[in-house]
Structure 1
Amino acid sequence: MISIWNFLGRVGGGYFSEIIVRDHAYPRPVAMAVAQVAMAIGHFLFAVAWPGTMYIGTLLIGLGYGAHWAIVPAAASELFGLKNFGALYNFLTIANPAGSLIFSGLIASGIYDYEAEKQAHVPRSSLADEPLKCEGAICFFTSSLIMSGLCIVAIILSLILVHRTKVVYAHLYGHART
């Protein structure tokens, strides 16, 4: 499901960002902030784990993630130019595996193991080779809240970028809307 929403987010996010930039001369980071709002809400819905929120959270995170990957290269080319775009794009692309390593491989797995140990009521050293098993929403509650919080930080940073680049976008697209 998340791949479907990711695809639609890439198509829709690119289209949405073009509309707000070309028709209204808003800075493209506005669209980045909107995508990050969707992801923050989606991760929060994962954390609260109410009935049915997994579907809505998956939709919001997939759309936001896909939109992010459609918007960021365009914003980078507008803000930094095309002269070194290849190197810049490679730098931006490394964020995906680096984020997966940090958030999934270290943070989420560590929290999951901690919660599984608490459910097993025995320390990890006495379990030897038995895999840890965690049941319930508590297993991913903290990880989802961390992700939601980091999305909120990204929203704030995007809005700072909006403020700092609105003159650039007004100059690039000619409609001074400040």
Structure 2
Amino acid sequence: MSVRRPVPPPIEAVEGDITTQQVDAIVNAANSSLLGGGGVDGAIHRAAGPALLAECQELRRTRYLDGLPAGHAIATGAGDLPSRWVVHAVGPNRRAGQTNPTTMASCFESSLREVVRVGGRSVAFPAVGAGVYGWDVREVAEIAVRTVRSSALLTHLDLVRFVLRGEKALRAFERALATPPDPASPRAPGRGH
């Protein structure tokens, strides 16, 4: 009797606007305040409308009085966006001295955990940390792809999409995706979980 192992979902990189993605959840490159900001964070808040800000304000009032720490993620509704949820992930701020790649990996893993927790099957990520937080997009791509590929949570998902702005970011993620997974990884696809 053969044991059937789950097939890992497609993981892809595209250039585009994360606010228009037809997926269950989009990941917001949030700051710890959860109250909006610039870049991806500002674009998501503008497109989602006031319902998203109201949910984030409630989270700050009740659960995250001091803000969401770097490396953590939390899901909310998506307001006027085509997705059902927004997962707010706080990447480490390299410009503030937060240079630990483990914290960066944690924001991707925590985001996957939140998507699965709310029942999502598809997710779109931006290049968390590669904007105003000062991380090189190539490093973000390597960490993000490695973290997603090695996550045991992949068996719960049908699609993981990295949605990038600009050709440089797209190329960085395409290169990371073209690099074969590390077969020594204990949770690499095809090795069991």
TM > 0.5? no
Higher relative contact order (CA 8 A, sep 6+): 1
- Which of the two has greater helix per residue? 1
- Which of the two has greater strand per residue? 2
TM-score with structure 2 length normalisation? 0.22
